[in-house]
Structure 1
Amino acid sequence: MLQGLTRRDFLRFSALSACSLAILPPEPAEERDLLGLGRVTVSWIYLYAEPSYNAKRLNRLERDAIITLLGRETPDDGPPYNPLWYRVPDGFVHSGYIQRVCWKPQTPRLEIPEGGALFEVSVPFTRSYRKPDQTSGPLYRLYYQSVAWVEAVEQGSDGRLWYRLLDDILKVNYYVRAEHLRRVEPEELDPISPDVPLNAKRILVSLAQQELLAFENDRLVLRTRISSGVPDYRPRGNGIPTATPTGRFYITKKTPLRHMGDCRLTDSLEAYELPGVPWVSFFHETGVAFHGTYWHTDFGRPKSHGCVNMHTEEAKWLFRWTKPIIEADVILKAGHGTTVIVV
């Protein structure tokens, strides 16, 4: 529901929302290029003269820099696990820490279903705040294709519409500009092949090959590169090893978003905070799961703290394909689900 507004305000905002989109920064010209835009996902990466780590380093690109991706290169010297490089206006960057993004501002929703609804960040990144006011305390940056639980839409002190988000772990609220999130429509989460019997679906994860394969009976329906846990069997502070466990498991819980990392309120871009990790399917009692990944695309080698990192689109497909089936706008579903074998 739109908080604290009369019907007259409601109608006025219907017009104002359309006008506010018109005065946003114009769509970057780069969006019209074939490959679109990329975002640097780590503190910095090097720009090279050629698509090779042995080439001359031309510059450093800082975290969250938005760059034009002009073309793909796959040189012989790789690296072999992920040989993809991008040609950019002034040189080349390796794809491992480039998230492909879009600039798709939205018309804000003026009504939110009772209890909340799923939304997804539709711009390269947006800043969250403690209040619907850009002069209030800043918090996390939320990144393209991360998922948020929106409880309400409110008028901010700047006259714009803001969404009130609920953090799924900390159970606190923060706010983002409403035009930076798009509604995840319920039909987007329709189950895939729900009539296939539970015992006919299975997932095989090869740690040696860094691959995931999904089967319906003996038919392969998905094969993709992943990033599993970095093999360090010493327990962390929480007592959980970082290596992805091997064995036979089952999907036991699913949630469309999860705040991962240290789970602290902060405005630091260098903190280990990953709010809104999308399309999470848990298969181990320690919290190991399949999920989408917005902080790297360096699939093909271990990168995680134990989970199975996937391309976000493929994690969403797996989320819909596996059992237990979770309905749209449900924050958590538990049950005995699809078989997972990790070798």
Structure 2
Amino acid sequence: MRPISRRDFLKLSALALGGLAFTPFLPEITEFEDVNLVRVATKSVSVYRGPTDQSLIVGTWNRDELVNVYAEITADEPKYNPVWYRVWGGYMHRARLQRVKIHYNQPLTVVPETGLLAEVTVPYSQAYHNSPLDGWQTTYRLYYGSVHWIVAVEPGPDGQPWYRILDELDEATYHAPAIHLRPISPEEIAPISPDVPLEKKRIEVALNTQTLTCYEYDQVVFQTNISSGIAGLSGAGGASTNTPASNFNIIVKMPSKHMGEANLAAGIDDYVLPGVPWCSFFTEEGHAFHGTYWHDNFGVPMSHGCVNMRIEEA
């Protein structure tokens, strides 16, 4: 694949930011730029006449559809997550909806040889794999808030600047529109409270209340609700989906991790989670604290054993 010259880049950048509505390779999301949006993050979510699941179902939205939110309502149920969204025709509970925004980015002219982390800033970006035999083929969808390693900027299937992404799970590469990804600066991933010794920091997770508390010098500095593993299920290879209860140390931190299967031909309903952000692994079996872009149902177990957190809190 040929590199982009400076002349080509300037031409392509103007096209990328000025012709968004005219390329078949971008999802049709430009009309939603100035409204409050949620993305349906599961196969389907029902619309109820009132803010309760005992109300009449009056509609359904399907995976990855974008819904305009008119208001946020705090209802009586469920107690752990009582927030509902008023939408066209009724109300949707936020459990399986992801709050999203739309922000387009100026593409970089060059990516350092070491690569860069970049965050998806649109509801989703359809990635493509360039096969020598079959040409450009769709692969994963990259979701809002997910983080990926970009290793090059190259012409995409529409001739505009796309970033080549390296997937650490199987070292496959694929491409996504550069305007959909925001490069992350080193300052954004600098350690928190670097002057506090490691032995004076700790995280406590209360599985019975689904809460997480961070301490420095035995003083609470942060607290939130989380989603731990669903008890009694079997994960990959028959492994338990319980979150283990014990004392652990953080083994390794990864700003981006592909979880689930590695399959470039996977469908959007398969268990494929590229770019899971801000992972801190605490067992050799792969249990981690990490950001979550596939639900907003914190306060109740939802995971395969990890500790799910809001992306901005992970």
Query: Where on the TM-score scale, by shorter chain, does this alignment land: which range?
Result: over 0.9
Q: How many residues align?
A: 307
Uncovered stretches (5+) of structure 2, i.e. residues with no partner: 22-27
Q: Structure 1: which 5+ residue stretches go unaligned?
A: 316-343
Q: Is 1:303–2:310 an aligned residue pair?
A: no
Letter in 2 for 1:162: W
SS of residue in 2 equivalent to 1:255: strand
Q: CA deviation at 1:268?
A: 0.5
Tell me what 1:104 maps to: 103
C-alpha contact 1:132 1:175 (8 A) present in aligned 2: no
**Maintained 8 Å contact 1:18/1:107:** no
Shift of 1:46: 0.2
Matches within 5 A, 1:249-268: 249-268=248-267
RMSD: 2.0
Asked if structure 2 preserves the Cα contact closer than 8 Å seen for 1:132 and 1:154, the reply is no
Q: 1:86 to 1:98 in 2, by over 3 A?
A: same
Q: TM-score, normalised by structure 1?
A: 0.85
Query: Aligned residue for 2:17?
Result: 21
Worse overlay, 155-164 or 252-261: 155-164
Q: Is the Cα contact below 8 Å between 2:43 and 2:269 reproduced in 1?
A: yes
Equivalent pair of 1:151/1:165 in contact (CA under 8 Å): yes
User: Which aligned pairs between 1:134-213 and structure 2 lie closer than 5 A?
Assistant: 136-213=136-213
1:4 aligns with 2:2: yes
SS of the aligned residue for 1:304 comes to: coil
Map Cα deviations across residues 164-192 of structure 1 (whole Å, 9 max, x no partner). Answer: 11111111111111111110111111211
C-alpha separation in 1, matches of 2:190 and 2:110: 22
Matched with 2:119 is 120
Change (3 A) 1:271 1:235: closer
DSSP-derived class of the 1:214 partner: strand
Q: Describe the superposition over 1:191-244 as per-residue Cα deviations: whole angstroms up to 9, x where unpaired.
A: 111101111110000000000000111211111010000112x65443531100
The percent of aligned pairs where both chains have the same amino acid is 44
Return the offset for 1:82.
Answer: 0.6
| Contact 1:49–1:58 (8 Å) recurs in 2 | yes
1:265 Cα shift? 2.4
Shift in Å at residue 155 of structure 1?
1.4
Instruction: Assess if the C-alpha contact under 8 Å between 1:132 and 1:156 holds in 2.
Output: no
| Structure 1 residue 129: Cα displacement | 1.1
Q: Deviations over 1:27-60 (max 9, x none)?
A: 7565434xx2110000001011111101111111
The one-letter code of the counterpart of 2:79 is: P
Q: Distance in 2 between matches of 1:10 and 1:118?
A: 23
Looking at structure 2, the residues matched to 111 and 237 of structure 1 have their Cα atoms a distance apart, in angstroms, of 39
Asked whether the equivalents of residues 200 and 216 of structure 2 are also in contact (C-alpha less than 8 Å), the reply is: yes
| Distance across 2 between alignment mates of 1:37 and 1:47 | 15
The residue identity in structure 2 corresponding to 1:228 is S
Secondary structure of residue in 2 paired with 1:131: strand
Within a 5 Å distance, the mapping from 1:264-343 to structure 2 comes to: 264-315=263-314
Query: What pairs up with 1:40-59 in 2 under 5 angstroms?
Result: 40-59=40-59
Write the letter of the residue equivalent to 1:244: T
C-alpha distance after superposition, 1:241-291 (max 9, x if no partner): 110000100111000011101222224011100010000000112110000
Please give the secondary structure, in 2, of the residue aligned with 1:199: helix
CA distance in 2, matches of 1:162, 1:31: 21
1:3-32 per-position Cα deviation (integer Å, ceiling 9, x unaligned): 6346xx313422431332112139756543
Q: Does 1:32 align with 2:37?
A: no
Partner of 1:244: 243
User: SS of 2:98's equivalent?
Assistant: strand
Equivalent pair of 2:131/2:137 in contact (CA under 8 Å): no
For 1:81 and 1:272, locate their aligned partners in 2 and report how far apart those are by CA, in whole Å.
26
